[in-house]
Structure 1
């Protein structure tokens, strides 16, 4: 059996199908579903599939994306409030590992990290070392100066 990669409490991650990389993410085993800071712009249908178009903002840059819209779910935030959120399914890359996972689109503008990686994405794939950061991130010394 191959050993599981170890992630720190924060990592830079990518969403390659969306053309996004270097997203600062908090690893949160207390959250069930992963979430991405996004503003939903439009919902549409193409070739019989539902899509959602959204904008992702971080580091002063706006990235426009679209993905297959899987569901709208009631997601309970850390303050106990339940919100209806769009959920997409896409590839998530942490270090050299890529997995297909559900990600809710949420307003995380008040949060320090534009992305949160929940336990469903981590389960049976990674071990979490909460005492360290950037364990799966190349050039971690460059990131530490940006995200203290």
Structure 2
């Protein structure tokens, strides 16, 4: 059986979280980070018959979007400044280019960061090859990232 050819992505791409109704999220592609993270505020933890869930809010393009996703864990995640923070981790579909797959995403305060989302190497593995010299390789022509140059 032939291995699928990984898609080439740039160091920044527009991604989507289809289950949350979010698209065109500017994301930094970071092979130095293990975990994918999203700028979000956790609102509530709750359980259903099929497991634990989180309700959270994402402020995006001047609007507040609320989402519900499977609550996977609370993990100690080391940020780029070397501090370990306890973060909620959810599982939800992530769309990058032509690939859509379930990904684990930590919810973090990224308000001081240029990109509201960071895609780590666990999500990239066996799906993508990163061309660090280019940007927006999976972005349809004419689509722009609001506020990101």
Displacement after TM superposition at 1:17 (Å): 1.7
The runs of 4+ residues in structure 1 deviating greater than 3 Å are none
Whose helix fraction is larger, Structure 1's or Structure 2's?
A: 1
Shift of 1:27: 0.2
Q: Aligned with 1:11: secondary structure?
A: strand
Measure how far apart 1:61 and its partner are. Answer: 1.4
1:147 maps onto 2:148 in alignment: yes
Deviation at 1:13, TM superposition (A): 0.4
More displaced 10-residue stretch of structure 1: 56-65 or 4-13: 56-65
* Secondary structure of 1:121's aligned partner: helix
Q: Please point out which of 60, 67, 82 is paired with 2:84.
A: 82
Taking structure 2 as the reference length, the TM-score comes to: 0.93
Task: Out of 116-125 and 58-67, give the one that drifted further.
Answer: 58-67
Aligned with residue 93 of structure 2, among 91, 114, 123: 91
Query: Structure 2 regions of 5+ residues with no counterpart?
Result: none
Among 112, 116, 119, the alignment partner of 1:117 is 119
Any idea what SS the aligned residue of 2:140 has? coil
- 1:86 CA displacement: 0.4
Task: Out of 1-10 and 85-94, give the one that drifted further.
Answer: 1-10
Where does structure 1 lack aligned partners over 5 or more consecutive residues? none
CA distance in 2, matches of 1:145, 1:36: 17
Mapped to 1, the partners of 2:110 and 2:10 lie a distance apart of: 21
Across the aligned residues of Structure 1 and Structure 2, the Cα RMSD in angstroms comes to 1.4
Tell me what 1:40 maps to: 42
Deviation at 1:58, TM superposition (A): 2.4
Say which is worse superposed, 12-21 or 114-123, in terms of deviation. Answer: 12-21
How many equivalent pairs are there? 147
C-alpha spacing 1:19/1:107, structure 2 compared with 1 (3 Å): same
| TM-score normalised to structure 1 length | 0.94
Given that 2:25 and 2:145 are in contact with CA atoms closer than 8 Å, whether structure 1 keeps it comes out as no
Distance, in Å, in 2 between the alignment partners of 1:101 and 1:2 is: 19
> 3-state SS of the aligned residue for 2:144?
helix
